Amino acid sequence: MAEASVLIPPLAPGAQIAVIAPAGPPKPGRLDPVAGWLRERGYEPALLPSCFGPPPLDFLAAPDAVRLADVHTAFTDSRFDAVLALRGGSGCIRLLDRLQLGRLACTRKLLIGYSDLTVLHALRTNAGIASLHAPMPASDWGLPGAEADTDALFQCLAAGWRVGDEVGRAAPHPFTTGSAAHGRLIGGNLAMFCALLGTPYLPDVDGALLFLEDISEEPYRVDRMFTQLRLAGVLDRIAGLLLGSFTGAESPDAVLADHLLRLRCPVLAGWPSGHGQPNRPLPLGVHAEMDPASGRLVLG
């Protein structure tokens, strides 16, 4: 396969993965198995200091300086072949104005994670570098029902992603509408994407395919955030909307239906990624074509 067609190279057996905690701390008992899980999959783990605290606030894994240093180290230290977030939660956005963006943009090392990691995915997208919205060890691995998602992640890491690869298919959904659309895949967690509005870190939304999902957001909050996206002009500028799962609260379907009526772009809903299960890996920062008629998402 030609080099130009490789969007995310395979991660070779024995590759060393830097595990960082740029957001929240792991719950009790969730850190201990991580190194073993990675070794079982054929990779060499390197758990960086932010994984071990101490948390200065209940919602931060470690002090800002420690988490910031780990992000810089993970991407710039040549020993590491990929960067894996321990979990999401909250805290990544506190680091944005102190991150040395040039150091992050000098390597195409893969970033793996989701949820609060949406803001770090945005930095990779802005630098023209692919990243991976995917399950994280302290949030997902080893939990009942999560085996298929974890297996899918490691299968994708071993195979890589190329132009023409089918990312997956969404089941028929009543919100799905419109014709095929092509653009750069951006987005992630709805709340975190909205938090980037008005900052210099928001990815370019013009002609993009915007992926959104969320957890524990009541319908009135989902309504507020979609209204914010509309008022900011985002929903008028994207080429297509890819909707993942919205879990952990009362269903926001009525709110979503109301907002989707105003959209002028295609929608592919029910995508199997987000805080619920399934949570299949989704490349971000790469071009793709979504086809609402078939439910397919194809890279390239």
Whole-number Å distance between alpha carbons of 298 and 114: 20
Q: Which amino acid is at 90?
A: S
Whole-number Å distance between alpha carbons of 141 and 18: 17
Give catalytic residue positions: 115, 213, 275
Question: What percentage of the chain exceeds 70 in pLDDT?
Answer: 99
Mean pLDDT for 234-242 is 98
Whole-number Å distance between alpha carbons of 180 and 106: 34
What pLDDT does residue 1 have? Answer: 43
> How high does pLDDT run on average in the chain?
97
Nearest to residue 270, comparing CAs of 169, 151, 135?
169
Coil vs helix vs strand at 1: coil
In this predicted structure, the answer to whether residue 169 has a pLDDT above a threshold of 80 is yes
Q: How would you class 276 by CB atoms within 10 Å of its CB: exposed for 0-12, middle for 13-18, buried for 19 or more?
A: middle
Mean pLDDT for 35-55 is 97
Question: What percentage of the chain exceeds 90 in pLDDT?
Answer: 99
What pLDDT does residue 117 have? Answer: 98
Pairing outcome for strands 287-291 and 296-299: antiparallel
Q: Which residue has the tokens 């002609």?
A: 207
Whole-number Å distance between alpha carbons of 181 and 178: 9
Coil vs helix vs strand at 239: coil
Largest CA distance in the chain: 50
What pLDDT does residue 145 have? Answer: 96
Mean pLDDT for 20-29 is 98
Mean pLDDT for 163-189 is 98
pLDDT tens sequence across 250-267: 999 999 999 999 999 999
| pLDDT band at 2; cut points 50, 70, 90 | low
Query: Are 238 and 207 contacting, i.e. CB atoms less than 8 angstroms apart?
Result: yes
Single pTM value for the model: 0.97
Spell out the domains of the chain, with CATH numbers in brackets. Answer: 6-162 (3.40.50.10740), 165-299 (3.50.30.60)
What's the angle, vertex CA 68, arms to CA 102 and CA 201, rounded to 5? 50
Mean pLDDT for 273-300 is 98
Nearest to residue 153, comparing CAs of 168, 164, 169, 172?
168
pLDDT tens sequence across 82-137: 999 999 999 999 999 999 999 999 999 999 999 999 999 999 999 999 999 999 99
In this predicted structure, the answer to whether residue 196 has a pLDDT above a threshold of 50 is yes
Nearest to residue 167, comparing CAs of 274, 290, 269, 278?
290
pLDDT tens sequence across 25-44: 999 999 999 999 999 999 99
Query: Are 133 and 204 contacting, i.e. CB atoms less than 8 angstroms apart?
Result: no
